């Protein structure tokens, strides 16, 4: 079977793709989608570990993680709606009042 | 019974005047005559106790009174009354008592009268405590306190700028000496700690018997300074002598004494004639075993003392102010006392007796001279001798007592007998010792200094007498004889100046020679002298008739010179005694010492250096402080920019930080 | 764009490198054979059993979290004064 390392390497790759997206895009929705990508890479990690050690705990955690990701995405989109109402665009680069 | 009772009372001797100081300071204004009665009673009590202790010591000189209490860290405060301290205590309290009585009339009407009596009471307390201290640290503390009282009393009329300046000069000049004294104590303490390996148990470091027991070991310690070998005992004793030079007004630290005449005349009589200035002589006498075991110090003492005696005498003959002449006379006589102590390198422990004898006698006649001068000034109103003349018709008692004092100062008496003024016996003893020294070491400088100074002494004191009391008045002054409360102390002092010397001559010196051979400390001065490479000779006492009569001859010659110039007015000085004569100008301007010391050295050099250095320091410290501020602000300006307010940068920062952390951990700790 | 693209690419690359190096350098304690379960090829029965016995408390809590976030999201998305 495929060694465990490759699964973990895949998950790291996915994570960094999501990270790249978060760092460069300025559109709010794109950022949330990339954050979802990062969360899913963590899920992949969990499931890989769980299957290669023969227990099912990791998969249960993965279910919890998916549920939490959904909740967080909902709240994130709600916040974006509020920002859109105020500024008429969701360019997150503009929100920098809390700077020096 | 009486013995132990007396010992219990010994601590009252300095304590009663100190209490008088406190009472007079707070309540003096409300009491009549400025509260003078309180110090007078206190000092009278101290005098009675000291006299009784002295009499008891006279009958059995072996038992010195010694009480010590632990103070801190191996040091103590305590009382030591041996023959040296006993005579000093008796003299100080007696003279102080008489001067206090005199001052009741002299200072009456002065608005600061209570302050005066408080300060003199404090001074007496400090001087008595100095005389009976049994360790060198307590002596130093009393020394400083005496200096403080001198400052306060010289600047008594502080609204006068000349008085304030004179007080400051006195304090600063004696401060130079005090710093040397303190350095000597520090060197001594560090050496003793090194030798004893820490504070010794059961005894007190710095008590005189402890110090003296370490003298042989101290003289073996040597230090190498700038390539020369110095014995520690030499260094310590020279530093102590430096302190004595400051306090007793020897050259070169004598400049404060003539200026100190700005204070009231009773202050000059008490402090600058009889008591404070003799503290330096007392110090050298008290630590005499250390001096005689140090190889060179006694020579320095003798030479400096002799030179000062001559030097001050040369300036005394041209002064026109009544009190200035007496001030220079005091410096000269203190030089005699130091010379007497310095001759101990030839005559051993007898030097202490000789010098102290002169100290006691000098106290009597010099205080008398100052008090008579005060009487004249008080009655006539001027101090300048050029305006006086013929005062004896107005103030006969003062004239008689002052003449007696002058005879005592010049040393009139018949050698070989017991007839003579007290000054004769004491000065003669010093001159005899100088002769012995010269014959033994073939070094005649001290003897020549002493004889020349005796000639000058006679000249200036009789010049003073003739100019003041005889002849016709040279200005219009109104004068009257002083009240009885002033003339009675004068008479008592005159009596002592006449007969004290003759009555107590041999007994006094023998009494003092037992200072270091009693129950407190028992030293063999001879062996210590060997340590200091001083050969001792016995006082032979049978020189040729010429040598015996020489001091008297010199005194008569001086009297004759003064008589011819100032009484009979036969020899006219004319242009010889005016500012056109360069020698006269040199002497009158006091060898330009004021210009050299104050103007050039203090103001230009020392003050200039200090001003320059403080400017440099200002610049340096300002730049450092400001630099720190600028640095901080600059760094924080740059660091502030991390807070961009944009979320992405924060996320980037987190990831970068975590990556670096993992790399660091892997590299440093080998985990992962 | 606040962070310029090359820099972001480098940071992502760095992170990947660190993790991959760490993962491929570790010896994982794994089973040699995946467990073959003839009845339940998809693990659902096992997950269900664990979910309702051992992890029932987090299960209930997460349902509350979901509920709370739904309510919050709806409220915020609707806006103020619009109810």
Percent of the residues in chain C that have a pLDDT greater than 70, as a whole number: 78
Chains that touch B (3 or more CB pairs under 8 A): A, C
Res. C21: pLDDT tops 80? yes
Ramachandran sector of residue C81 (left: φ over 0; alpha: ψ -120 to 50; beta: rest): left
Which chain C residue lies closest to B672 (C-alpha atoms)? C22
Listed in sequence order, the residues at least 6 apart from B29 whose beta carbon sits closer than 8 Å to its beta carbon are: B35, B114
Report if residue B159 sits inside a domain. yes
Q: Are residues B141 and B195 in the same domain?
A: yes
Which chain C residue lies closest to A84 (C-alpha atoms)? C77
Q: Are residues B640 and B533 in the same domain?
A: no
> How near does any CA of chain B get to the CA of A30, in Å?
13
Question: Which of C2, C20, C68 lies at the smallest CB-CB distance from A93?
Answer: C2
Q: What is the pLDDT of residue C2?
A: 64
Q: What value of ipTM does the predicted structure carry?
A: 0.87
Q: What is the pTM of this model?
A: 0.73
B655/C11 touch (CB, cutoff 8 Å), yes or no: yes
B656/C25 touch (CB, cutoff 8 Å), yes or no: no
C14/B646 touch (CB, cutoff 8 Å), yes or no: no
Q: What is the pLDDT of residue B571?
A: 64
What are the backbone dihedrals phi and psi of residue B447, each rounded to the nearest 5 degrees, phi first?
A: -65, -45
Q: Are residues B551 and B627 in the same domain?
A: no
Which chain B residue lies closest to C8 (C-alpha atoms)? B652
Which chain C residue lies closest to B647 (C-alpha atoms)? C2
> How near does any CA of chain C get to the CA of B668, in Å?
15
Listed in sequence order, the residues at least 6 apart from B220 whose beta carbon sits closer than 8 Å to its beta carbon are: none
Model confidence at C60, in pLDDT bands (50, 70, 90)? very high
Instruction: Check the CA dihedral B115-B121-B125-B131 and report its sign.
Output: positive
Listed in sequence order, the residues at least 6 apart from B650 whose beta carbon sits closer than 8 Å to its beta carbon are: B644
Look at residues B588, B617, B639 and tell me which one is the last residue of a structural domain: B588
Q: What is the pLDDT of residue C69?
A: 94
Q: Are residues B392 and B262 in the same domain?
A: yes
Q: What is the pLDDT of residue C16?
A: 94
Q: Are residues B570 and B648 in the same domain?
A: no
Model confidence at C64, in pLDDT bands (50, 70, 90)? very high
Look at residues B588, B615, B636 and tell me which one is the last residue of a structural domain: B588
CATH numeric code, A4-94: 1.10.287.3510
Nearest residue to B337 via CA among B252, B427, B461, B432: B427
Question: Which of C11, C35, C58 lies at the smallest CB-CB distance from A64?
Answer: C58
Q: Are residues B366 and B319 in the same domain?
A: yes
Question: Which of A24, A54, A56 lies at the smallest CB-CB distance from C3?
Answer: A24
Nearest residue to B268 via CA among B255, B279, B257: B257
Question: Which of C11, C20, C62 lies at the smallest CB-CB distance from A12?
Answer: C20
> How near does any CA of chain C get to the CA of A70, in Å?
8
Q: What is the pLDDT of residue B318?
A: 82
Pick from C6, C9, C30 the residue to mutate for testing the A interface (most A CBs within 10 Å).
C30
Q: Which domain holds residue B630?
A: 595-669
Each as own residue / partner, the long-range contacts of residues A45-49 (CB below 8 Å, 24 or more positions apart, any chain) are A45/A7, A45/A8, A45/A11, A48/A4, A48/A7, A48/A8, A48/A11, A49/A4
Domain ranges of chain A: 4-94
Number of structural domains, chain B?
A: 2
The secondary structure of B399-468 as a DSSP string is: HHHHHHHHHHHHT-B-TTSS-B-HHHHHHHHHHHHHHHHHHHHT--HHHHHHHHHHHHHHHHHHHHHHHH
Q: Are residues B199 and B242 in the same domain?
A: yes
Nearest residue to B65 via CA among B143, B13, B127, B110: B13
Q: What are the tens digits of pLDDT across the range A5-58? A: 899 999 999 999 999 999 888 888 999 999 999 999 999 999 998 888 878 888
A52/C28 touch (CB, cutoff 8 Å), yes or no: yes
Q: Are residues B603 and B555 in the same domain?
A: no
Q: Are residues B335 and B404 in the same domain?
A: yes
Q: Are residues B246 and B323 in the same domain?
A: yes
Q: What is the pLDDT of residue B656?
A: 92
> How near does any CA of chain C get to the CA of B656, in Å?
7
| Residue ranges for chain B with pLDDT beneath 50 | 1
Pick from C33, C61, C70, C73 the residue to mutate for testing the A interface (most A CBs within 10 Å).
C73
Q: What are the tens digits of pLDDT across the range B494-537? A: 888 888 877 777 777 777 777 777 777 777 777 777 777 777 77
Q: What is the pLDDT of residue B529?
A: 73
Q: Which of C 1-40 lie inside 8 A of B, CB atoms? A: 2-3, 7-8, 11-12, 14-15, 18, 22, 25-26
Q: Are residues B606 and B467 in the same domain?
A: no
B645/A97 touch (CB, cutoff 8 Å), yes or no: yes
Pick from B641, B643, B656 the residue to mutate for testing the C interface (most C CBs within 10 Å).
B656
Q: Are residues B373 and B503 in the same domain?
A: yes
């Amino acid at each position: 079977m495929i060694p465990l390392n490759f699964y973990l390497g895949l998950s790291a790759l996915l994570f960094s793709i999501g990270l790249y997206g978060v760092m460069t895009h300025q559109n709010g929705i794109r950022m949330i989608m990339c954050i979802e990508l990062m969360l899913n890479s963590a899920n992949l990690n969990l499931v890989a570990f769980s299957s290669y050690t023969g227990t099912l705990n990791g998969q249960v955690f993965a279910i919890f993680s998916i549920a939490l990701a959904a909740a967080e995405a909902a709240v994130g989109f709600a916040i974006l709606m509020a920002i859109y109402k105020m500024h008429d665009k969701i360019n997150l680069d503009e929100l920098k009042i809390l700077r020096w | 019974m009486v013995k132990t009772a007396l010992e219990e009372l010994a601590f009252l001797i300095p304590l009663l005047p100190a209490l008088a100081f406190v009472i007079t300071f707070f309540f003096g204004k409300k009491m009549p005559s400025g509260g003078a009665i309180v110090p007078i009673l206190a000092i009278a009590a101290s005098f009675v106790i000291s006299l009784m202790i002295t009499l008891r010591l006279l009958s059995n000189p072996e038992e010195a009174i010694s009480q010590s209490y632990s103070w801190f860290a191996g040091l103590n405060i305590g009382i030591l009354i041996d023959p040296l301290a006993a005579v000093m205590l008796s003299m100080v309290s007696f003279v102080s008592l008489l001067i206090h009585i005199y001052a009741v009339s002299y200072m009456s009407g002065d608005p600061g009268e209570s302050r005066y009596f408080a300060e003199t009471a404090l001074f007496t307390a400090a001087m008595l405590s100095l005389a009976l201290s049994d360790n060198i640290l307590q002596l130093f503390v009393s020394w400083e306190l005496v200096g403080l009282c001198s400052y306060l009393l010289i600047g008594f009329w502080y609204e006068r700028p000349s008085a304030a300046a004179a007080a400051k000069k006195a304090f600063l000049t004696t401060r130079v000496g005090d710093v040397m004294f303190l350095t000597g104590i520090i060197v001594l303490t560090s050496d003793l700690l090194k030798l004893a390996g820490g504070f010794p148990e059961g005894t007190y470091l710095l008590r005189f018997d402890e110090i003296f027991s370490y003298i042989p070991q101290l003289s073996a310690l040597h230090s190498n300074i700038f390539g020369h070998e110095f014995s520690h005992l030499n260094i310590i004793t020279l530093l102590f002598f430096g302190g004595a030079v400051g306090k007793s007004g020897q050259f070169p630290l004598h400049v404060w004494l003539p200026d100190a005449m700005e204070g009231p005349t009773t202050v000059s009589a008490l402090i600058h004639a009889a008591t404070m200035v003799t503290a330096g002589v007392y110090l050298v006498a008290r630590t005499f075993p250390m001096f005689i075991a140090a190889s060179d110090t006694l020579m320095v003492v003798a030479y400096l003392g002799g030179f000062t005696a001559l030097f001050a005498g040369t300036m005394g003959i041209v002064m026109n102010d009544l009190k200035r002449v007496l001030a220079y006379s005091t410096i000269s006589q203190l030089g005699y006392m130091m010379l007497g102590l310095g001759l101990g390198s030839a005559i051993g422990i007898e030097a202490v007796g000789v010098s102290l004898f002169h100290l006691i006698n000098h106290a009597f006649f010099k205080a008398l001279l100052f008090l008579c001068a005060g009487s004249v000034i008080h009655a006539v109103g001027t101090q300048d001798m050029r305006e006086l003349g013929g005062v004896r018709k107005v103030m006969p008692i003062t004239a008689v007592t002052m003449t007696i004092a002058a005879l005592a100062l010049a040393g009139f008496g018949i050698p070989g007998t017991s007839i003579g003024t007290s000054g004769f016996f004491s000065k003669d003893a010093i001159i005899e010792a100088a002769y012995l020294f010269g014959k033994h070491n073939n070094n005649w400088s001290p003897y020549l200094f002493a004889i020349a100074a005796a000639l000058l002494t006679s000249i200036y004191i009789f010049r003073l007498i003739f100019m003041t009391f005889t002849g016709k008045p040279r200005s219009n002054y109104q004068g009257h004889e002083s009240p009885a409360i002033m003339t009675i102390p004068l008479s008592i002092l005159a009596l002592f100046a006449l007969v004290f010397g003759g009555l107590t001559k041999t007994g006094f010196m023998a009494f003092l020679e037992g200072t270091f051979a009693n129950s407190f400390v028992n030293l063999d001065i001879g062996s210590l002298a060997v340590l200091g490479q001083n050969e001792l000779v016995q006082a032979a006492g049978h020189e040729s008739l010429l040598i015996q009569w020489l001091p008297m001859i010199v005194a008569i010659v001086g009297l004759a010179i003064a008589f011819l110039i100032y009484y009979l007015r036969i020899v006219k000085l004319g242009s010889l005694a005016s500012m056109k004569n360069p020698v006269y100008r040199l002497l009158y301007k006091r060898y330009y010492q004021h210009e050299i010391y104050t103007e050039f050295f203090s103001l230009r050099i020392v003050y200039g250096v200090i001003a320059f250095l403080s400017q440099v320091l200002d610049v340096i410290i300002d730049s450092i402080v400001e630099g720190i501020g600028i640095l901080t602000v600059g760094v924080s300006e740059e660091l502030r920019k991390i807070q961009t307010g944009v979320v992405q940068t924060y996320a980037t920062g987190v990831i970068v930080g975590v990556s670096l952390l993992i790399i660091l951990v892997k590299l440093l700790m080998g985990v992962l | 764009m606040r962070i310029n693209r090359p820099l972001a690419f480098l940071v992502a690359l760095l992170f990947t490198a660190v993790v991959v190096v760490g993962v491929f350098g570790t010896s994982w304690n794994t089973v040699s054979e995946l467990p073959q379960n003839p009845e339940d090829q998809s693990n659902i029965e096992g997950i269900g059993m664990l979910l309702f016995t051992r992890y029932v408390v987090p299960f209930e809590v997460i349902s509350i979290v979901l509920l709370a976030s739904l309510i919050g999201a709806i409220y915020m998305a609707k806006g103020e004064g619009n109810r």
